[in-house]
Amino acid sequence: MSRFTVLGGSGFVGKYLIQYLKNNGHEVLAPSRAELNSLPHDLGHVVYAVGLTGDFRQKQVETIDAHVNVLASILYKNTFSSFLYLSSVRLYSGVDSPQPVTEEMALVVKPGLDAVYDLSKLLGESLCLMLDNPSVRVARLSNVYGHGQSKHTFLQMLLNEISEKGTVEIREAPQSAKDYVFVGDVVCALENIALYGQHRIYNVASGVRVMHKQIADYLASQGDAKITFAENGALRRFPEVSVERLVREFGWAPQSFLRSLNDLV
C-alpha cells in the first residue's frame, strides 16, 4: 500500500477521500492548515483538496489564498511521489461547443466577481502543469454531491429549503443544467489518477447534464414539496463534459444522479 497526504482533509471531498484511502489500506496523513509548515520530508501521493466552493463570492481573498498561495508553498518545497490538484469543470463555463468539452480545449474566462474562482483555479493548474513532472496532475471535478455536502451548493440549498419550508423558488431557468457526480465515485477516481494516471489533466464528472426542471419534477414527485421557478430566471447551462479519458483508463462508470437522489433526500 502507499502513503497519501490529503491537504484540505476537513472539507467535503477530503473527508470522504481520507476514509476511502484508509479503507483500502493506505497510510494517510491529513495535516491541518497550522501543520503545513512542519510536514514530513516525503509526502507520498499528495491530493490537494484545499479550496472554497459555494461561498467564494463572499471570501475572495481566502479563495485566492487557498487555490494559489498555499498550493505554491507546498508544491515547490516538498518531496512527493505524485501531486494531484483538485480543480473544477466550472472552467468550461465560457466554452461554446456543441461537443462535450475535453481536457485539451482552450478555456475562456471573463474577469469579474464570478471569475475570481475560475481564474484562481486556472493559476493553480498552471503552477502544477508548468512543472516538467508527469506525476503532477490536475483533476477537474464536476458538482460533487453526497451526504454532508456544503450548504452553499445549489443542490443542498434546494434540499434545505424544501425540508424547512416545504416550498422553494428556484431563481434560475428550468432549462439550466449542471453535471453532478457522486462523491463515492469521485474518491475512487482520485485514487486511480494519483497512482496510475497517464495524463496531466482529467475531467471527473458523470458526463450527463441534469436540468433544474428534472430535479424539481423528481423532488415534487416524492412528496408535498412545492417547487416553482422565478419568472425570467437566468439560464445557466454548463457544457456537457467528456469523461472518455477516465473511461479508457479506468473503466469509469459513475452512478446516475437522478437514480441516487432519493437516498440523498
Helix axis angle, 257-264 relative to 212-221, nearest 10°? 50
Spans of all domains in the chain: 3-145+180-206+240-254
Query: pLDDT tens digit string along 119-133?
Result: 999 999 999 999 999
Q: What is the pLDDT of residue 54?
A: 60
Q: Which of 28, 29, 26 is nearest to 1 (CA)?
A: 26
Superfamily of domain 3-145+180-206+240-254: NAD(P)-binding Rossmann-like Domain (3.40.50.720)
- Residue-wise pLDDT tens digits, 40-97: 888 999 999 998 766 666 678 888 898 999 999 999 888 999 999 999 999 999 898 8
Q: Report the phi/psi class of residue 144: left, alpha or beta, with left for phi > 0 and alpha for psi in -120 to 50.
A: beta
